[in-house]
Amino acid sequence: MKVNLKSLQMRTMDSEEFHLSAPGRDSFLSDIGGRFLEPVVIDLLVENTGKMFIGRGRVSTMISLTCGRCLEEFKLPITTGLTLNASETSGCEEDEELIVLEDSQAEIMPRIEEEIFSLIPLNPLCSEGCKGLCPFCGINLNLTTCSCGKNDVDPRWEKLKQFK
């Protein structure tokens, strides 16, 4: 996703609004069993300070993740603030976050993916109270019940008993 700063480049100390939308890259989420359900939408206000471009705005999208307990897919809405810096040259500053313009355009997708990634929990759950799968028969306990757990013995405790 590119922001075209060609016209803003001519106007120092001015700013310009951008409203962009692009499909997310599923390959970016596939490692963690996720995918994009909606395009990534960005509202950005970019300021030309004369030295560099400073962008502030919002990112929003909807992704699907796999619950770590019941293994069902669930939706996770993503909305977050975004700040980014862009410049025509990489300059002398050691700034890894700085986006260097190519042909007056700033490629912002890597920064946006970084932001989205930072919002994805390490162990995603469909809900705090997800009951997960039965350790005996593998049934999804959010949807139905089984009789395995009737005696209410945790399999780990069962193991301990054997040691006695």
- 133 near Zn ion, rule: CB under 5 A: no
Strand pairing category for 2-4 and 105-107: antiparallel
Q: Within 14-154, where are the H helices?
A: 27-30, 109-118
Binding of Zn ion at residue 146 (CB under 5 A)?
Answer: yes
Instruction: Choose the stretch contacting Zn ion; rule: CB under 5 A; options: 25-33, 52-60, 96-104, 148-156.
Output: 148-156
Alpha-carbon distance of 132 to 161, in angstroms, equals: 25
Nearer to Zn ion, 117 or 136 (CB): 136
* By the rule CB under 5 A, 141 interacts with Zn ion: no
Q: In sequence order, which ranges of 2-154 are alpha helices (DSSP H)? A: 6-9, 27-30, 109-118
Q: Which is nearer to Zn ion, 137 or 153 (CB)?
A: 137
Which of 100, 119, 137, 153: binder of Zn ion (CB under 5 A)? Answer: 137
Are 141 and 131 in contact, with CB atoms under 8 Å apart?
A: yes
User: What binding mask, one character per residue, do residues 92-131 give for Zn ion by CB under 5 A, x or -?
Assistant: ----------------------------------x---x-
Residues belonging to the chain: 164
Which residue lies nearer to Zn ion by CB, 33 or 39? Answer: 33
